[in-house]
Chains A and B, each alone.
Chain A
Amino acid sequence: MKKKYMISIIGLSICFSLLSVCNSDSLSSWELMKKLVLIPGVSGYEGEVADFIQSLFPVGIKPQRDEMENIWFSAGEGRPHLLFVAHTDEIGLVVDQITPEGTLKVKGRGGFLAQMYEGHPVVICTDEGPVNGVVAPRTGYSQRDAGSSNFRLNDIEIHLGISSEEEARSLGIKEENQITIKKNVIELSPDLIATRAVDDRAGCAALLSAASRIDWKRIKGKTVTFAWDVQEETGLFGASRLARTLKPDYVFAVDTFVSSDTPLDEKRFARIVLGEGAVIRAIDSSNIAPRFVLEKVMKIAGDNQIPFQLGNTRGGNDGSVFVPEGAADIPLSWPGVYSHSFIEKIHRHDLEALTRLIEALVKDFNGVRLPKLQ
């Protein structure tokens, strides 16, 4: 009887856990994101993130996966071909060397301020499971002149609580293991969280949530591809691989709009406010979206009563690698602050608006007729 009771409780727990991301048949982008950010997936190590996303692909579609761990599926046929793409990787560290004293030296993956790691806990992902470590403060940190030296990537030394290389290896640690900060989801309010890897798990979640709401059998007169690619943070490598096989006419890269909506950032550009809707990222360091395509996207957003903002910022996006092949790149975003930190902040309304915008574009965007030469 007791056993039966226990099984019922476990069954109910699993149901509640699934219900937290599933509402009827659709998936909540907000709840999905909160799960996705916690999965380790430093650039080059995205397999676990890809597995999670693929496990929630819509029923009846044909999933595709390449050797890099890019995953995608397509529906419909013919032109135009719309590609929506979000990246599964995150910035982080990789074990470079295990010292004779059992500490770890690291290599970086992606761009970040190394001093964020100083004096903070990290998790090393080994084949035998996660191992905790802490990044030592700089040598002589208590001395009067400690502030005069800068903390760089080379200064990162991870302590595991042991004192030899042999002990480190017995914990399962190897060179090239990925390392993330010990992740916490900080709920600043019910609609606002700060955590690591919002860039770009929020994009992954928006895409997956939109995928769950779309009736893929009804895609007619165009091809729509949803892709989750890898190694964006280290040089758009996953997108470059996809560009060899996929030849879209329009790419909607779904990624962070780095916003200056903080007390510390220069407000001359990127001034897009959190909580006021999705962002159409017109200009960044890698792409200038064609104005006539932007107008069409804005009209669809307006017609569907989706709150959106239009802005320019810095940084690149995956869609830009498809532009030389003839595609137009229109990045879609949410305003994100404290980008590439451990407290990337995002507002629920923005993510939900982004999800609706993706859904609306799949339904209503059929390309833009180019102006004819006279």
Chain B
Amino acid sequence: MCNLNLFVSFLNLCLRLFCGADFEKLLKEILLVPSPTGYEHRLAEKIQKLLPEALPTEKDNLGSLYLSLGKGTQKLALLACMDEYGYIITGVTEDGYLRMDRVVPAPHPVYDSFHQGHPMLIRTEKGLVTGVMAIPSVHILSRGRREELQSFSLDQAFLDIGVRSEQEVREKGVRMLDPVVPLPDFTQLAGEKMAGPGLGSKTCCALLLDVSGKVRAEKLSQAATFVWMAQTKFNRRSRRLTEAMGASCVKSKLDPERAIIIDVFPVDWSKEVDISIGKGPVLVLNTSKGSSLGERIEAIAEDKGIPLQKYSGFQSSVMNPFLSESSDILILALPVQFFATPVEMVDFKDVRALEGLLQSLLD
């Protein structure tokens, strides 16, 4: 996989510029593990390996990973989402092209079109296989077909892995339902920003991992459980609020009184929202109901001079399962520009600020 080796070298360089050596190592390892919804187990294994060996972890039936530290009657859960958007292999044509489907709904109407004519990565049991999403040649396109291509969807998607038959597909190790994601290619931008596919959620996972490794369990005045959740983009069938399946499972297992969800905040998904990248993490409260956890975070931010943006009224399928009269739940989000595109943009000033807030809260 010489392609990936190149990306790893470049990634090393970017991350070294933006963050400390420990966090750099964690994020690099996490960014390169494809984890579309339902296929998070490799990422969970990677996170488990990156945790200190002595720390006790467990998993639930969906594959979410739990790490419990400290003792006490009060319980605090810190949660991050492991899954990213992607596809699965659902067919092979006679001449060796792969067909795909999605496991969860596309995050927005033009999601598929970002991938036509670009490289993709398949995770197989034998390892990673690179392919390209076929695109017609401009020279031999009729004007009518050219217009049709603007509404590209999975119906027109053929993944080319450079083979000519079903037999060769099998020889490459590609099987039905293998997961597919955009090639993890990350770009360093000016002003401490970086862009790449799945960068927001993966950075949140790495942050939680970094913070969990730095917490001194014996000093914790409460029981803290760190959870890397699977299947957060897949919603349970319900007539109630939209609830992420993975989050519902975590709720039934932990039933935390207080929870902080470390998630992304898509800054450009609503015109009414005045939140930007580079201006600090976003404290997201579900209702106007007071939150002692939120007040504590605001106090820390003020005390430490950490920039913090605020937003309330956000509907989140990850937060919904935890909502109850007695619970104190909030999202502490990393602002992300161009979320769910191959160039999700993150400002590493926000990452450091979020890390500072979490560490101060646990200390």
Contacts and interface: CB of A to CB of B under 8 A. Distances in A.
Interface of A: 111-113, 115-116, 118-121, 131-138, 141-147, 150-151, 159-163, 167, 171, 182, 184-189, 192, 194, 258-260, 262-266, 269-270, 285, 313-315, 336-343, 345
Interface string B106-140: 01111001101111000000000011111111111
Nearest to B150: A150
Contacts of A269: 140
A188 B162 CA distance: 5
A184 B185 contact: yes
Contacts of B114: 118-120, 137
B195 interface: yes
A258 B190 contact: no
Contacts, number: 190
A113 B146 contact: yes
A235 B311 CA distance: 53
12 contacts: A120-B343, A137-B343, A144-B109, A161-B345, A182-B185, A188-B130, A188-B160, A264-B135, A265-B136, A315-B139, A342-B117, A342-B118
A146 B110 contact: yes
* Chain A to chain B: the 5 pairs with minimum beta-carbon distance, closest first: A188-B162, A161-B189, A147-B109, A339-B137, A161-B193
B187 A338 contact: no
Interface of B: 2-3, 6, 93, 95, 97, 107-110, 113-114, 116-119, 130-140, 142, 146-147, 149-152, 156, 158, 160-163, 183, 185, 187-193, 195, 266, 268-269, 337-343, 345
Contact of A160 (B130, B133, B156, B190): B190
Contacts of A266: 140, 142
Given A119-B343, A159-B345, A187 B135 contact: no
Given A141-B109, A194-B160, A314-B140, 10 more contacts: A112-B138, A132-B190, A133-B189, A141-B110, A142-B269, A145-B109, A146-B109, A262-B158, A263-B134, A342-B117
A224 to B, nearest CB: 29
A264 B158 contact: yes
Contacts of A162: 190-191
Contacts of B117: 113, 116, 338, 341-343
Contacts of A342: 117-118
B139 A136 contact: no
Contact of B137 (A150, A167, A258): A258
Contacts of B139: 111, 258, 285, 313-315, 339-340
A138 B341 CA distance: 11
Nearest to A261: B95
B190 A161 contact: yes
A171 B193 CA distance: 15
Give chain B's interface secondary structure class.
Answer: loop
Contacts of B110: 118, 137-138, 141, 146-147
Given A134-B338, A263-B93, A264-B135, A187 B2 contact: yes
A120 B137 CA distance: 19
A188 B156 contact: no
A134 B158 contact: no
> Which of A134, A171, A342, A345 lies at the interface centre, i.e. has the most chain B CB atoms within 10 A of its CB?
A134
A265 B160 contact: no
A111 B187 CA distance: 26
B107 A142 contact: yes
A264 B132 contact: no
Contacts of A314: 139-140
A119 B342 contact: yes
A169 to B, nearest CB: 12
Nearest to B114: A119
B338 A137 contact: yes
B12 to A, nearest CB: 16
Nearest to B152: A115
A338 B139 CA distance: 10
B135 A134 contact: no
Contacts of B269: 142
A184 B137 CA distance: 19
Contacts of B342: 119-121
Contact of A186 (B107, B132, B188): B132
A186 B129 CA distance: 11
A258 B114 CA distance: 23
A194 B151 CA distance: 24
A192 B96 CA distance: 15
B187 A121 contact: yes
Contact of A345 (B147, B156, B160, B343): B160
A132 B190 CA distance: 8
A186 B119 contact: yes
A74 B114 CA distance: 46
B162 A167 contact: no
A121 B185 contact: yes
A262 B108 contact: no
A87 to B, nearest CB: 15
B334 to A, nearest CB: 16
B298 to A, nearest CB: 26
Contact of A264 (B156, B187, B190, B341): B156
> Which of B108, B146, B158, B266 lies at the interface centre, i.e. has the most chain A CB atoms within 10 A of its CB?
B108
B137 A134 contact: no
